[in-house]
Amino acid sequence: MTDPNATAHHQPSRRNRRELAIFGAVTLVIVGLDQLTKYWAQQYLLPRRLSGEDPIELLGGFLKFTYTENTGAAFSIGTGITWLFTLIAIAVVVVIFRYALRLGSLRWALALGGILGGSLGNLIDRMFRSPGPFEGAVVDFIQLPYWAIFNIADMAVVISGIGMAILLVRGVPLDGKPEVAGSQLETDL
């Protein structure tokens, strides 16, 4: 026998559909910007690097565009185990999709969309760039002083991760419904 409440739980509500649409739009925008800027970096910055030209400097050298490829994780950690980072990224994507089904909060939709967009942006590189699937190098090109070179996907993951930490600390529920205190719940029953 099927529990009618269990079935209703998996069907998106009107509010949930709005958050899912925002989640999807944020994800697509980040993946699109990430891949577009990586294409630009490969077409414009890589030839500059190969010909020995200096990086492009903006804001008095504070911001530089420098082409590099990263087979590891952040700060080029683990460059010999690219396949492991690929598997971790796939697991993260699956987990985010599962959580997205419960979305009811605009702020969580933005944060999860950012994490997913960034994860997919770098996962696309790992799956489709040289030397091959599960071992592809991630294109990085944005450089700030005293920081590793990064890309749009990395920015999205970091900013969204900070946003998620703030949401957790503030107790903002994923489903957008205010939590009912245990004593309040008992009196309601």
Q: How many domains does the chain have?
A: 1
In-domain check, residue 9: no
In-domain check, residue 113: yes
pLDDT at 70: 86
Q: What percent of the chain has pLDDT over 70?
A: 81
- Is the link from the previous residue into 131 a cis peptide, with omega within 30 of 0? yes
pLDDT at 181: 54
Catalytic-role residue among 34, 154, 175, 188: 154
Does position 1 have pLDDT exceeding 60, yes or no? Answer: no
In-domain check, residue 41: yes
In-domain check, residue 5: no
Catalytic-role residue among 125, 140, 175, 188: 140
In-domain check, residue 10: no
pLDDT tens per residue, range 31-73:
999 999 999 999 999 999 999 999 999 999 899 999 999 876 6
Rounded Cα distance between 142 and 123, Å, is 18
Rounded Cα distance between 70 and 140, Å, is 7
Q: Does residue 140 carry a catalytic annotation?
A: yes
Name the helix (H) or strand (E) containing 140: strand 138-143
Alpha helices in the chain (DSSP H): 4-10, 14-40, 46-50, 82-100, 106-128, 152-170, 182-188
In-domain check, residue 187: no
> Binning pLDDT at 50, 70 and 90, where does residue 15 land?
low
List beta partners, residue 11: none
pLDDT tens per residue, range 76-126:
555 666 777 778 888 988 999 888 988 999 999 999 999 999 999 999 998
Indicate the burial class of 24 (C-beta count within 10 angstroms; 0-12, 13-18, 19 or more).
middle
Residue 27 belongs to domain spanning? 17-176
pLDDT at 26: 98
pLDDT at 6: 46
pLDDT at 132: 81
In-domain check, residue 91: yes
Does position 186 have pLDDT exceeding 80, yes or no? Answer: no
Task: Render the burial of 94-121: b for 16+ CB within 10 Å, e for the rest.
Answer: eebeeebebbbbebbbbbbbbbbbbbbb
In-domain check, residue 1: no
pLDDT tens per residue, range 129-174:
888 887 888 999 999 998 889 999 999 999 999 999 999 999 999 8
pLDDT at 187: 41
Residue located via tokens 């245990």 = 182
Rounded Cα distance between 51 and 49, Å, is 5
